Structure 1
Amino acid sequence: MKDVLARYIPEHATDAVFELIKLYGVHLKIVNERVTRHGDYRRDDSGYHRITVNASLNKYRFLMTLVHEIAHLAAFEKYGRNIKPHGDEWKLTFQKLMVPFIRPEIFPNQLLPLLARHFRNPKASSDTDATLSLALKQFDEATDKTYIFELPYGSTFKIYNGKIFKKGAQRIKRFECLEVSTGRTYLFNPNAEVELLP
């Protein structure tokens, strides 16, 4: 298992992550990409703790996602199963588990201040922290996708499920975009990856 982990996370994090997996009795499954989530945790009917993480994530996002999911398990074990999935107990647990990894041997220097800021009050998804999300994406493999914030006003784009939108105005942090087929307006994070249409 440690050899498999080493292919997906930074080298200097491998031993500590492997110890967390053993400590919490995690059954880790690395899966093909799911567009709607980076990973998830569940306890199955037989009591096994199952965590899945997308294989396509870069090693820094993979590490954060895996620790995020282990934090769900640890928080449920410590505080009971009636807590909110991303409530205060989970945030405190995620911070505690993640802080030992926020160091230059594991993450590039340019990410460290962004991670320190993010983990003051971690969100349900690092994608909602646009600055951190964009910084993490620079370590992804190159794709033909573009970010919403890069598109000119009024341009047409397609998202992962094939739906087509027209970019509108920015409202505080997000962009209003009109779904072409229905005329409904949706809000997009500036770091959403889309395909620009001609």
Structure 2
Amino acid sequence: MLISFIISLEKNSFTIMSVLEKYLPRLAVAPLTALLQQNQVHLKIVDERKTRHGDYRKNPDGSHGITINANLNKYRFTITLVHEIAHLVAFQKYGRTIKPHGAEWKHTFQKLMLPFLRPDIFPNDLLPVLARHFKNPKASSDTDAMMSIALKSYDLETDKSYIFELPQQTLFVGPSGRKFQKGEKLRKRYQCVEISTGKVYLFQPNAQVTILKTQ
């Protein structure tokens, strides 16, 4: 994994802001810089990881580490960064025995995110979707299909498609790099067969996959 940039506690506000301007909406830069410094966060911006947008950990020296994927669009980057800061703040306030995405984290995430839910930071078409999501935020924005699709509209063009868009029997490569064939919908998710093993896996409708081109 290549690290694009590390924002450490030793860097001043101007340096941090000059980096974050590349990844965040302009008016979100200063308040998020303040949150990072206030909570003693070492922020790493890294190459894409297939299984997560970001993560939080407490370092052995007592400082806090947050890692965010560099390829996120600025709106998803903002949400992901606040999501991870909310873990830190919730653990500090309620103790480390709370569930990672339990009621305490949800309340903290809502409170931290509220100042950013305004039209000079997020586009008008995203705000109603975000308002609905933050009534009961989920562990991952990707499990909220409506929000995931709305945020994807601000991504750079890619060769990826959503599972729900594919015709049945389509062959595709999943996020893990394994090959599957799309099957029937089972309630909310799609049954897909792994080509190499014949095992059946369930995919969220908004899972992003690459269609496997056949000769």
If the TM-score is normalised by the length of the shorter chain, which range does it land in? over 0.9
| Aligned with residue 139 of structure 1, among 125, 142, 154 | 154
> Tell me, what secondary structure is at the counterpart of 1:117?
helix
Structure 1 segments, 4+ long, off by >4 Å, are none
Identity %: 62
Structure 1 residue 150: deviation in Å? 1.0
The corresponding residue for 1:155 is 170
The corresponding residue for 2:22 is 7
Residues 50, 176 of structure 2: 8 Å contact kept: no
Uncovered stretches (5+) of structure 2, i.e. residues with no partner = 1-15
2:157 partner letter: A
Give the TM-score normalised by the residue count of structure 1.
0.98
1:92 partner letter: H
The corresponding residue for 2:44 is 29
Residues 51, 175 of structure 2: 8 Å contact kept: no
Residues 47, 71 of structure 2: 8 Å contact kept: yes
Question: Structure 1 residue 111 and structure 2 residue 123: aligned?
Answer: no
Deviation string 1:64-99 (CA, Å, 9 cap, x unpaired) is 000000000000010011111101000000000001
* Aligned counterparts, 1:29-108, within 5 A: 29-108=44-123
Give the TM-score normalised by the residue count of structure 2.
0.90
Alignment partners' CA distance in 2, 1:162 and 1:42:
27
Give the length in aligned residue pairs: 198
The corresponding residue for 2:8 is none
What's the Cα RMSD here? 0.9
Query: Greater shift after overlay, 168-177 or 102-111?
Result: 168-177
Alignment partners' CA distance in 1, 2:92 and 2:39:
9
The corresponding residue for 2:143 is 128
Structure 1 residue 58: deviation in Å? 0.3
